Amino acid sequence: MRFYFDLLSEQGRDVDHEGMDLPSIEAARTEAERSAREMVAEIILHEDRVDGMRFEIRSEAGLTVAVVKFRDVINLD
C-alpha cells in the first residue's frame, strides 16, 4: 500500500506527492512517529515551536487514514 505524509504547521500544508510503500496503516503511523521525533529534535534545537504540527497520513485513494501530532511523540515523563 502507498501512503502519503502531509505535514501541517502554522505555515500551512506541505503535501507529500511521492509517498511511501508500507504494508499497513500501523506501519505508516510508526514511520510518521519516527519522522516526527527526528523533526521535533531539530525544531527544539532551533528554539521553534511544535504546537499544531502534525502529519496527516493519506491512502492512495486520498483519504486521511491517520493523524500523528508532534506533541504526542514527545515523552515528558
Q: What is the pLDDT of residue 74?
A: 84
Q: What is the pLDDT of residue 50?
A: 75
Say whether pLDDT at 71 is over 80: yes
Residue 42, all three cell numbers: 531539530
Whole-structure pTM value? 0.88
Match 496527516 to its residue by C-alpha cell.
Answer: 56
Q: What is the pLDDT of residues 12-66, one digit of tens each?
A: 999 999 999 999 999 999 999 999 999 998 888 877 777 789 999 999 999 999 9
Q: Classify burial at 38, counting beta carbons within 10 Å of its beta carbon; exposed 0-12, middle 13-18, buried 19 or more.
A: exposed
